[in-house]
Structures are given as structure tokens and as C-alpha cells.
Structure 1
Amino acid sequence: MADVLKRHGAIIAVALLILMVGAAMLVGWQRYDRDYVVSVEEDGSAVTKIIAEKISGASALRVSQLNGTVQSTAQDVRGFGWLKSDQVVKMPYRVDYYIDLSGLTARDLEWNAQTRTLIVNAPDVMPDMPNVDESRRTLVRTGGLFVTREAGEELSRKVSAHAQARAAASARSPERMAQAREYGRAALVKLMAAPLAAAGQGDARVIVTFPTERRSKEQWDVTTPINEVLANKRQGR
């Protein structure tokens, strides 16, 4: 009996291994088909189409947007140093700033009854990945004695990467982050206005703090978590 169970167990293990390998191969093929296989019409010509897409929910609040134009440059050297080429491109970009509210809990909301003040200890504002619009390029200048197809592709790739990096650095600069936090502060004050009004505290003051500010801010007076305030308000009605 033990030998039979052992043989059955071995068969099940082998079957599971085959299923796992098959699933991995299927996922690998799907990724390869998505990224590298060219979709064509019946006559063999390539076609513009959506290959893959996915929609998902989000709990982030967009509070501001940075718009600008970036100039990006790239160089390429081939043929043992004989074939040198370069490219300069100008194109617009956009960076959105968000506050992730998914981690905001009642512990992050404090109520000072004496001053009728709600303190919101918010997560920091974060910039999204830059959206560089290469379809709206205003300048494309490529130089070189002879620019091969491979060199042109490499220049285009480098220009895009450099533009992304430069836009991201600008978006994360202290000046831009400070401006985004002010917009974020105003957005959260507006967001908190509705629940405060519903609790009968429509004239209360709202103070929004971010992590960099809380490191140096002086301690507030003894406060009450906002969930207790709202619970007490409901019980008193």
C-alpha cells in the first residue's frame, strides 16, 4: 500500500511539474508575442493596433501637474571610432504629482477641540513618471558623416532615456516639490471639507502636514483622533 501511495505521489509531483513548466512557457510566449511579434494584415503589411492593455483602480489623488519642454541630446560611436553621430531633440513633457491616500488612516487625523482644528498628517507628494510626448517633437537634428540604421535607433533610444531622466530630475527638484506640496495641501483641505461639514464642523480649521515638515514641527496640543470625534458626534445626535 505504501508503495502504491508513493508511486501515486510521484506521478502527481511529475504532473504538477509539467503543469508548472507549461504555464511558465505559456507566460513566456505571451510576453514574447506582446513585445516582439509584429501583427500584420492579410497582405503581410504591419498594422497599428493595441497589443495588450489593463485597467486597474487607484487610490492616489492627483494634486498638480508640471508641463514643460525638454531638450535631449545623444551621441553614438561605431566603426572603431570612425562613424560618429549625434542627435538633438526638443519635445514637450508632463509630470503629474500624486498623494497616495491608501495608507491614510484615522491615526493620521487629529482633532483639537479647543481650537477646532483638524490636523492631517499626510503622506508626501510623489511625482509620477514623466510623460514625454515624442509625437510632438518641435526639433530633430541628427548629425554625422554616415548614420547607420542601428546608430539611428540607438540615438533615438538614448534621446528618449535622457529626456525621461532630465524631466524626472526637474520634477523632483526642491523647488518643484515645494510647489507640488502647496497644491497638495490645498487639495486635501478641500477633500476634508465635506466630512467636516457632515459632522457639523464646517467652520473648523484644517492643517495639512507632510513628513518633511513633521520632523521639525513643534508638538501640537493633546488631540483626539478624528474617528472618535465623528463617533461621538453621531452618538450625540
Structure 2
Amino acid sequence: MKPLGKWLIAIAFAIALGLGALLLMQRTWEKRWQGNVETIAASSLQGLREQNRLSAFAARFVAVVTSEQGRFGLTAKKTLIMPGMVRYEVDLSKLQQRDVAWDEVSRTLTVTLPPIEIAGPQVDMRAIQEYDGGGILLALTDSEKVLDAANRKAGQDELMRQAREAVPMKLARDATRRAIANSFSMPLKAAGVEATVVARFGDESGS
């Protein structure tokens, strides 16, 4: 065999060995990271639990309420316009290890979240507006105090009613899902793990 042929065979053999070594290293690293997905997820879970609460969404609403009182044949009425902010939170301390599940076949990490809690309302006192009618009754009795108290309670109840409506609740749940999914997917990506992270609430289908 000519020297050139021997060199070609040697080069081909070296390339084959190199490819084999690369494949072996790739499989070794894949197995290593597959075994560490649970470890990375557990670390992310612990970090979230230490935050205690997550507020990924807030919304501002305006309540318009009217209270009325009649005495001595007279009627007093007051209308209150009350703006307020509410926050949508999840209690991260309720997350448990059983709420985080890894599916090796689909390479999907599923996180089941505690329910959304609404915090507030935080009333914007400077933006409150009031309108009244029935001046005589308001001037001669304690009707104004009674109506103010009734309006404040009704206003806060109305703000919470608006906060629980379908659209803001959906926006809050979507924002919370994204925030939690990112909290798990970023460490996985940093570790070179290809995985899909799905965050969902316990009352959703497939949980």
C-alpha cells in the first residue's frame, strides 16, 4: 500500500475516533443534565417559596355608588366616585415539591399553582369625588355620616366585584403563569437543558 493510502486510512480512523468521542461526551452530558432537571427545578422552587408572595398583575378600577336615606318625609342622597387599585397575588409558600412534575418523554416541566388571591383595594383618596342631594336633611341630622359610611363600604365592595370579573382575572392568571414559567425555564436554559415549562392553576384542565 502506498504511503498516501496509509495516511488517508489513518486520518479516517482518527476522524471516526473523534466523532465517537464527541457522541459519547454528548450522551454523557445529556444523561447528566437529565438527572439534574429535578435538582434545578427544586432549587427554583425553593427560591420562589422564599419570595413568599408573587404579584404579577395589578389593575385600577373605578366604583360609582349611591346611598339614599329618608327621614321626616325628606330624602338625602350621596354619590361617591371611588378609584382604587387591586393586586393579584399567589402565595408561593403554598408551592410544594409535588406541584412540580417532570415528564422525560415530552421534556416538559409542569408547575401547578395555588389560586389567585386579590389584595386590596387600595383606594386613591385624592381622586375621590362626592355629590350630594337633600341638603336640609344632611344639615339637620347625621344622615351624611351614615351615607358616607354606606358609600365607602359599597365602593370597596364594587371595586372587588370588578376585580373578580372574567377579563381581569384572565389577565392576572396569564401574567402569573408567564412569571412562574420564566422562573423555572431561565435556570434550565442557563444549564443547557432543553425543556418546555408549563405553569397552570389547579382548577385548569389537565392539572
- Say whether the fold is shared (TM-score over 0.5): yes
The residue that corresponds to 2:149 in the other structure is 157
Structure 1 segment 69-218 matched on structure 2, within 5 A: 69-78=62-71, 81-137=72-128, 139-146=129-136, 147-148=138-139, 150-197=142-189, 199-201=191-193, 203-213=194-204, 216-217=205-206
Q: Which amino acid aligns with 2:64?
A: Q
Structure 1 segment 7-18 matched on structure 2, within 5 A: none
Counterparts in 2 of 1:58 and 1:119: CA distance versus 1, 3 Å: closer
How far residue 184 of structure 1 moved from its aligned partner, in angstroms, is 0.9
TM-score scaled to structure 2, two decimals?
0.68
How far residue 117 of structure 1 moved from its aligned partner, in angstroms, is 1.1
Alignment partner of 1:61 out of 31, 50, 54: 54
Native 8 Å contact 1:75 1:86 kept in 2: yes
Native 8 Å contact 2:56 2:172 kept in 1: yes
How far residue 174 of structure 1 moved from its aligned partner, in angstroms, is 2.3
Q: Which amino acid aligns with 2:126?
A: S
Q: Which amino acid aligns with 2:53?
A: A
Q: Greater strand share, 1 or 2? A: 2
TM-score scaled to structure 1, two decimals?
0.60
Higher relative contact order (CA 8 A, sep 6+): 2
Native 8 Å contact 1:66 1:94 kept in 2: yes
Q: Greater helix share, 1 or 2? A: 2
> The residue matched to 2:159 in structure 1 has which SS?
helix
Distance 2:82 2:63 in 1: 6
Native 8 Å contact 2:61 2:163 kept in 1: no
Between the two proteins, the alignment pairs up a number of residues equal to 156
Q: Which amino acid aligns with 2:134?
A: G
How far residue 75 of structure 1 moved from its aligned partner, in angstroms, is 1.3
Distance 1:192 1:72 in 2: 44
What's the CA shift string for 1:31-62, capped at 9, x where partnerless? xxxxxxxxxxxxxxxxxxxxxxxxxx971100
Native 8 Å contact 1:84 1:145 kept in 2: no
In angstroms, what is the RMSD of aligned CA positions?
Answer: 2.1
Native 8 Å contact 1:95 1:131 kept in 2: yes
Deviates more, 1:66-75 or 1:162-171: 66-75
Deviates more, 1:171-180 or 1:158-167: 171-180
Query: Sequence identity of aligned pairs in percent?
Result: 28
